[in-house]
Amino acid sequence: MKIFCIGRNYIDHAKELNNPVPSEPLVFMKPPTALVVNNKPFYYPDFTQELHYEGELVLRICKNGRSVRPEFAHRYYDAVAFGIDFTARDLQQRLKQKGHPWEIAKAFDGSAPISVWIPLAELPNPRDICFQLKKNGAVVQEGCTRNLIFPFDTLIVHLSRYFTLQRGDMVFTGTPAGVGPVVIGDVLEGFIEGRQMLTCVIK
């Protein structure tokens, strides 16, 4: 199983971090040990003082494919989940300043809590899915897939150019504006089309 992640896929999020808007998908990966399932708690790591949440939709790959053509891309995913891409922002900034890879700031153990899946067929408009993240009951992030810089099908085409997609792979599709820090005791809740999908307690 591979966990692909897409950075800066909403214009407002790129701007809030003073990053340039990408001209093609910015791809990084997380290992399976990053996953946190079944609403298990997230334990604040001891190597960061500035841990940020990044709520996003996650695609489930449903068939194997390589070099997928655009007209067939929609056949390669069948469900979405709510995921959080936790980021050790202070560590990431130090690594970026040195020109070093920043996987340890993004791909550490437990950095990817994820909800159960919703089949796309159960959503009112699979081409325009809205989602929301609350922190301690207050909305901090809202996004809709119509605002993606690179839509789902574009991501499938791009990823399959470099990697063989396999059934069960996941794609974290990018976070909208509103990312911010968490502290021990915070509670994060993820929603898709108004349905609560994920509860993540910071321990």
Mean predicted confidence (pLDDT) in 80-99: 96
Mean predicted confidence (pLDDT) in 121-132: 94
- pLDDT one-digit tens code per residue, 68-87: 999 999 999 999 999 999 99
CATH architecture of 3-201: Alpha-Beta Complex (3.90)
Domain boundaries along the sequence of the chain? 3-201
Record the pTM.
0.95
**Residue 119 scores a pLDDT above 60:** yes
Residue-wise burial string across 148-176, b where 16 or more C-beta atoms lie within 10 A, e elsewhere: bbbebbbbbbbbbeeeebeeebbbbbbbb
Supply the mean pLDDT for the chain: 95
